[in-house]
Chains A and B, each alone.
Chain A
Amino acid sequence: DQQVKQNSPSLSVQEGRISILNCDYTNSMFDYFLWYKKYPAEGPTFLISISSIKDKNEDGRFTVFLNKSAKHLSLHIVPSQPGDSAVYFCAASVWGSSNTGKLIFGQGTTLQVKP
């Protein structure tokens, strides 16, 4: 039962253009969402997050949008740079009675930015 889904395994964009990575979730109890970037053979690096009380959060070239009614979030990278080429994971935090910070991860989307 995949609660967080990234349906596009890969995405290729031209340098300078916009990259849009998508993520869908099924659990309405998720209230905090994060995006991580991962290079091969390295640990994921935190990129940006958004709380469910917001619908947009921006940090430099990175913007995350949250559509709670559609249970969908997206990461926009503008402009895309070759150094952005990596695997991007979205993750969701479960709000439960134990109040733990367990993260549920999507399968990842491999972004390739071509020079």
Chain B
Amino acid sequence: DGGITQSPKYLFRKEGQNVTLSCEQNLNHDAMYWYRQDPGQGLRLIYYSQIVNDFQKGDIAEGYSVSREKKESFPLTVTSAQKNPTAFYLCASSSSGLSRETQYFGPGTRLLVL
């Protein structure tokens, strides 16, 4: 049963704390993406990776970091530098990361600040 899993479903962050959101896929996709959704807004791209050990900044990368050590995993760290981290975070993947491809999404992680 192929798909994308994200954990945890809810995550709480204290002031000054770094937190890491997990994203795993077993679709054998090369490309993976992280998006952020705020109320009343569309999805905005944080980071993306087209191949293992390589990733690129998206439109709102400040305050975030990623790694891509394995093809199936693309964790996102929300650092203390991200001043407004409360949002719904979505991970996606696509076959090769080229244009004209469909991206498939995980169920999301909601991050809340205490």
A93 to B4 Cα, complex, angstroms: 21
B98 at the interface (CB under 8 A from A): yes
Asked if A32 contacts B99 (CB within 8 A), the reply is yes
Contact A93–B99 (Cβ < 8 Å)? yes
Question: Which residues does chain B contribute within 8 Å of A6, judged by CB atoms?
Answer: 42
The answer to whether A43 and B107 have CB atoms under 8 Å apart is: yes
Task: Using CB atoms, name the residue of chain A closest to B107.
Answer: A43
- CA of A46 to CA of B103, assembled, Å: 8
How does the 8 Å CB contact mask read for B84-114 relative to A, with 1 for contact and 0 for none? 0000101010101111111111111010000
**Chain B residue, CB-CB nearest to A47:** B102
User: Looking at the complex, which one of A9, A44, A89, A100 makes contact with B98 (CB distance below 8 Å)?
Assistant: A100
- Given the interface pairs A4-B42, A101-B94, A102-B48, the reply to whether A43 lies near B102 with Cβ below 8 Å is no
Residues in A neighbouring B103, C-beta threshold 8 A? 46, 101, 103
- Counting contact residues on chain A (CB < 8 A from B), the size range is 20 to 34
The answer to whether A44 touches B105 (Cβ under 8 A) is: yes
If A42-B107, A43-B90, A100-B48 touch, does A93 touch B100 (CB 8 Å cutoff)? yes
Q: Is A14 an interface residue (CB 8 A)?
A: no
Which B residues lie within 8 Å of A46 (CB)?
102-104
A45-B107 Cα distance, complex, nearest whole Å: 10
Q: Which residues of B sit under 8 angstroms from A107, Cβ to Cβ?
A: 40-42
Q: Smallest CB–CB gap between B62 and chain A, Å?
A: 17
Q: Which residue of B lies closest to A30 (CB)?
A: B99
1/0 per residue, CB under 8 A from B, across A28-54: the answer is 000110101000011111100101000
Chain A residues engaging chain B, CB cutoff 8 angstroms: 4, 6, 9, 31-32, 34, 36, 41-46, 49, 51, 89, 91, 93-96, 99-103, 105-108
